[in-house]
Amino acid sequence: MALAVSTLFLFLFILPGITFKRAYLSSVFSRKLKFSGLLDEVFWALFPSIIMHFISYALLQAGKGIFHFNFDLTPVLSKAIFEGDSEEYGNIFLIYLYYCTFVIAVSFIAGHVSRKVIRLLKFDRRFKLFRFSNDWHYLLSGEFLDFPEVPDHPEEVSFKLVNVLTNVGSDDMIYIGELIHFTLSDEGGLENIVLKDAKRRFLKDDLLENRYYEIPGRYITIPYKTIININIRYFYLEEITSDYDEEELL
């Protein structure tokens, strides 16, 4: 009985860490949770849990003075871990449950706030440790240019040219156009991309002179399931009509 109760107490103790991790990784560009090994999973459940318990305990201590209520975790934990019979467990369990509910709520909020802070401070672009798992977001948004290993900055990007090789029936088709929109899937991948003013050609026409032909309409949606590969190029574009040299023109 004591072992079962202690296990339940332990599970409730690490639950805030799991909640924090789920909340932190809940946005669509980080949604895919991979199993990274038992030791790693236990560490990333336990480590945030301990921090969340510290923060929540400090909040409760601060709240005691403001809202005038009594709360002391020490006797609850000492009875749960070291001593106590069934009746005592019953008495302290409700208090412990209230406390854990509070910690889980704090963890949920802290997870979402942490993600927003990391995104706001651009830590996920600067440090690999904070990077989210969906690479498509970084690649298609241009935030990829903020990675330390890549020169230039995403703020300079004024035009994204995309070459998409797709498979349509038995033919391979290449679309080229300006990337203006993309949708990420719930599984942590890509769902579709939208190109503006695109042209297309068959892959087999690679050596022809005027191989691209225009597509009527300005926007074309390409589902990811038809895409074989994508080539993305980022351009800085500026109108310099007032100060140009005629000899340098293309």
Partner 1 sequence: MKPRSDHRENWVPQKEKKSRELVYKLIDINKEIDGEGKTFRLGDKVYFVRELG
Stated as kind and residue range, the H or E segment containing 220 is strand 219-223
* Among the residue ranges 32-40, 62-70, 79-87, 242-250, the one whose residues contact partner 1 (CB under 8 A): 242-250
AA identity, residue 225: K
Nearest to 135 by CA among 49, 231, 20, 29: 29
Minimum distance, C-beta of residue 248 to partner 1, in the bound complex (Å): 5
Q: Rule CB under 8 A: is residue 196 a binding residue for partner 1?
A: yes
Inter-residue contact 215 to 200 (CB < 8 Å) = yes
Q: Rule CB under 8 A: is residue 233 a binding residue for partner 1?
A: yes
String marking each residue 126-165 x if it binds partner 1 according to CB under 8 A: -----------x--xxx-xx----xxx---xxxxxx----
Q: Rule CB under 8 A: is residue 184 a binding residue for partner 1?
A: yes
Phi and psi of 220, rounded to 5°? -130, 130
Minimum distance, C-beta of residue 77 to partner 1, in the bound complex (Å): 29
Nearest to 29 by CA among 159, 144, 185, 235: 185
CB atoms near residue 103 (< 10 Å): 27
With H, G, I as helix, E, B as strand and everything else as coil, classify residue 27: coil
**Which CB atom, from 15 or from 179, has the smaller least distance to partner 1?**
179
Residues 29-48 that bind partner 1 (CB under 8 A): 31
Looking from the CA of 213 toward its CB, the CA atoms found within 13 Å total 7
Q: Rule CB under 8 A: is residue 114 a binding residue for partner 1?
A: no
- Enumerate binding residues for partner 1 (CB under 8 A): 22-23, 26-28, 31, 137, 140-142, 144-145, 150-152, 156-161, 176-186, 191, 196-197, 199, 212, 214, 218, 233-241, 244-245, 248-250
